Amino acid sequence: MSTYILSIIFAAVVLLIAALISNAIKYEGGANPKDPGKRKMWFWVFAIINPALFYVIAAFVMVPSSRKESEQWMDALPVSTIVGFVVFILLGFVLSKIFKNGKLGNWF
């Protein structure tokens, strides 16, 4: 598979994990609830973890065995990591606007 496709799939999976954690954080009552800040923090933590973890896994675990394929893989890896990061942010933004009255609406 292409590194770009794997990066997008990986970003979607990490975004799903971020959404599950955000939904697990309970609403806090009162005048100054801290739960929106917690949800936003977890989104951005996973936004940082996403490219770092993908790069490490792709560079050390998923590298093809042939030399030519390995060189092509490593050449495309930095760009595909950035693509995965951008996809994560864009999908997160779209989800936060779709669910603006829900827990995911606190991401942005």
Nearest to 102 by CA among 11, 35, 32: 35
Give the pLDDT confidence of 43-98 residue by residue, as tens digits.
999 999 999 999 999 988 888 888 888 888 888 999 999 999 999 999 999 999 99
Residue bearing tokens 């590298």: 63
pTM to 2 decimals?
0.89
Residues making up the chain, counted from first to last: 108
Task: Report the amino acid identity of residue 48.
Answer: I
Determine the pLDDT at residue 1. Answer: 63
Q: Check residues 27 and 96 and name the one with the higher pLDDT.
A: 96
Cα dist from 32 to 35, 55, 74, 83, whole Å: 9, 38, 48, 37
DSSP the chain: --HHHHHHHHHHHHHHHHHHHHHHSPP--SSS--HHHHHHHHHHHHHHHHHHHHHHHHHHTS--SSHHHHHHHHHHHHHHHHHHHHHHHHHHHHHHHHTTTSGGGG--
Question: Any residues with CB less than 8 A from the CB of 30 and at least 6 apart, and which?
Answer: none
For the chain, give every domain's residue range.
3-25+34-106
